[in-house]
Amino acid sequence: MQIRELIISSFRSLISNKRRSILTMIGIIIGIASVITILALGDGARLAMLKNLQADSGGQQSTQITFSPNNSDVKISGFNNEDLARIRSNPKVAKVTVQSDDHGILSSEGTINGKSLSSLVYLATSANDNKILAGRGIKDSDISIDRPVALVNKSIAKKGYRTIRNALNSGIEINGTTYTIIGVIDNNATRGEFYNYDVVVPRHVFETSNATVNANTLKLTFISGTDISKTTNDIKDQLNQMGSQHSSGSYDFYDTAAMLKGVTMVIKGITYFIVAVASISLFIAGIGVMNMMYIAVSERTQEIGIRMAVGASQKQILWQFLIEAVMLTLSGGMIGYLAGLGIAMGISAFLPFKASVSISTFLLAFGTSTIVGLVFGILPAKTASNKNLIDILR
């Protein structure tokens, strides 16, 4: 009997007992669906964490180097144009931006229309109407009477109020102080060549709020495929050796990549543990498959005898029942795989990240289903192939 004939015969046998086949498949479906759901959500959470902590809004990886002066009472800008030009010449660095109090640009947290944001704030000490797209700039009169007004870039305006027009005369909160947005500026507004900013507010108004800010921080954005930990460490070492202020303080880099590796290992460990627990249902489903196959062998003793009488070998009988078991578990596995994907996608619609599906999850479902069929179908198949034709005819 050819393989094709064995497969057709096995399929017909399963179809002839639809109800029993479907009930047996349910255990496989539940087991595979549970495993795929957990893996998809676990991988989705891990990838979302890596993306959020190690990449900017455009998906590029970035790191930060900070300068800490030896004398904390003295304000020193840790980076000059020569430092920045040297770093910018590195072929692996795509972009360099600096935030430094000496240039009036600081990193601050805030909210706009209930949405949180982290922005570079330019603290204006005089009138500013640079790169205005809509509204007006900050006037000297705004500075002199400490009016809490602000200019925001186009991206922030749209993030908070969807359109530039809606943002005008609306509010933005920066480090606990609410400012009225009087103008919208271009996204590429800079002071000098390297000092980008997103928001402009009067300096005195900002300082009276006693806000805590980060100064002297260098943000590096890298091209795709760069080993950001190694490259940033090399740049940090270079700054500590020949940076403009290497004798007045130290340059430091906190390696988030190393931290992320540890966190992802923990997430993977938890995911695999839950998968192992869910896999118990596959073992139980395998027992059900074995039980069904033993019943099928018992019910089809006469069929086995007829096949042997017309020349079927023990090997062919064994393969027929083994193929039936694998077809049963594989069908359940594929249905379980699709069900697991659907459940994972449905759950992720209510979560801040999307489920991640890879070819490895498909191979896992396919391979596990096949193995369950082989392992739990081999004994009933051997029982069928070892039957004696004379005993059957009696």
> Which residues are CB-neighbours of 271 under 8 A, at least 6 positions away?
38, 39, 42, 43
168, 267: one domain: no
> Is residue 220, in this structure, part of any structural domain at all?
no
pLDDT at 246: 83
d(CA 37, CA 311): 47
Please give the average per-residue pLDDT across 70-76, as a whole number: 65
pLDDT at 110: 86
Q: Could you read off the pLDDT of 27-46 as tens digits, one per residue?
A: 888 888 888 888 888 888 77
* Strand pairing category for 177-185 and 149-153: parallel
Please give the average per-residue pLDDT across 46-72, as a whole number: 68
116, 47: one domain: no
pLDDT at 57: 46
- The fraction of the chain above a pLDDT of 90, given in percent, is 14
pLDDT band at residue 181 under the 50/70/90 scheme: very high
> Which residues are CB-neighbours of 72 under 8 A, at least 6 positions away?
none
Ordered DSSP codes for 314-362: HHHHHHHHHHHHHHHHHHHHHHHHHHHHHHHHHHHTTSSS-----HHHH
Q: In this structure, what DSSP letter does residue 103 have?
A: G
> Is residue 78, in this structure, part of any structural domain at all?
no
Looking at 195, 214, 233, the residue that finishes a domain is 214
46, 109: one domain: no
pLDDT at 18: 80
Q: Are 319 and 374 in contact (CB under 8 A)?
A: no
Question: Is pLDDT at 55 greater than 70 in this prediction?
Answer: no
Please give the average per-residue pLDDT across 217-240, as a whole number: 83
Task: Give the chain's mean pLDDT.
Answer: 81
The total domain count for the chain is 2
Residue 347 tokens read as 């759950």
Which domain, by its residues, includes 326? Answer: 3-52+262-393
pLDDT band at residue 209 under the 50/70/90 scheme: low
3-state secondary structure of 126: coil
Report the Cα 375 to chain-centroid distance in Å: 35
pLDDT at 50: 63
> Is residue 94, in this structure, part of any structural domain at all?
no
Per DSSP (E only), the strands in the chain are: 62-69, 93-99, 105-112, 115-124, 132-135, 149-153, 171-174, 177-185, 190-191, 195-196, 199-202, 217-222, 249-253
Question: Is pLDDT at 203 greater than 50 in this prediction?
Answer: yes
37, 155: one domain: no
271, 370: one domain: yes
Looking at 214, 249, 271, the residue that finishes a domain is 214
| Rounded alpha-carbon distances, angstroms, from residue 316 to 57, 124, 189 | 61, 87, 77
Of residues 183 and 108, more confidence is placed in 183
pLDDT band at residue 211 under the 50/70/90 scheme: very low
Please give the average per-residue pLDDT across 63-86, as a whole number: 75
Of 115-129, 167-181, 194-208, where does the model show the most confidence? Answer: 167-181
Number of Cβ within 10 Å of residue 154's Cβ equals: 19
Q: Phi and psi for 314 in degrees, rounded to 5?
A: -60, -40
Q: Could you read off the pLDDT of 240-273 as tens digits, one per residue?
A: 998 888 888 888 887 766 666 677 777 777 777 8
182, 301: one domain: no
Residue 145 tokens read as 């009477």
Looking at 183, 214, 245, the residue that finishes a domain is 214
| Rounded alpha-carbon distances, angstroms, from residue 272 to 9, 265, 355 | 38, 10, 16
122, 208: one domain: yes
161, 278: one domain: no
What angle do the packed helices 280-299 and 314-348 form, to 10 degrees? 150
157, 271: one domain: no
pLDDT at 138: 93
Environment class of 352 (CB within 10 Å of its CB; exposed 0-12, middle 13-18, buried 19+): exposed
> Which residues are CB-neighbours of 359 under 8 A, at least 6 positions away?
none
Question: Is pLDDT at 135 greater than 90 in this prediction?
Answer: yes
273, 177: one domain: no
Q: Could you read off the pLDDT of 274-333 as tens digits, one per residue?
A: 777 777 877 888 888 888 888 887 877 777 777 777 777 788 888 888 888 888 888 888
Q: Are 225 and 165 in contact (CB under 8 A)?
A: no
Question: Is pLDDT at 197 greater than 50 in this prediction?
Answer: yes
Single-letter amino acid code for the residue at 373: G
> Is residue 247, in this structure, part of any structural domain at all?
no
> Is residue 233, in this structure, part of any structural domain at all?
no
48, 132: one domain: no
Q: Could you read off the pLDDT of 326-379 as tens digits, one per residue?
A: 888 888 889 989 998 999 999 888 887 788 877 887 887 888 888 888 888 888
d(CA 258, CA 53): 12
> Is residue 292, in this structure, part of any structural domain at all?
yes
3-state secondary structure of 2: coil
> Is residue 26, in this structure, part of any structural domain at all?
yes
> Is residue 72, in this structure, part of any structural domain at all?
no
Number of Cβ within 10 Å of residue 33's Cβ equals: 25
109, 179: one domain: yes
State the chain's maximal CA–CA distance in angstroms: 112
Q: In this structure, what DSSP letter does residue 59 have?
A: S
pLDDT at 351: 83
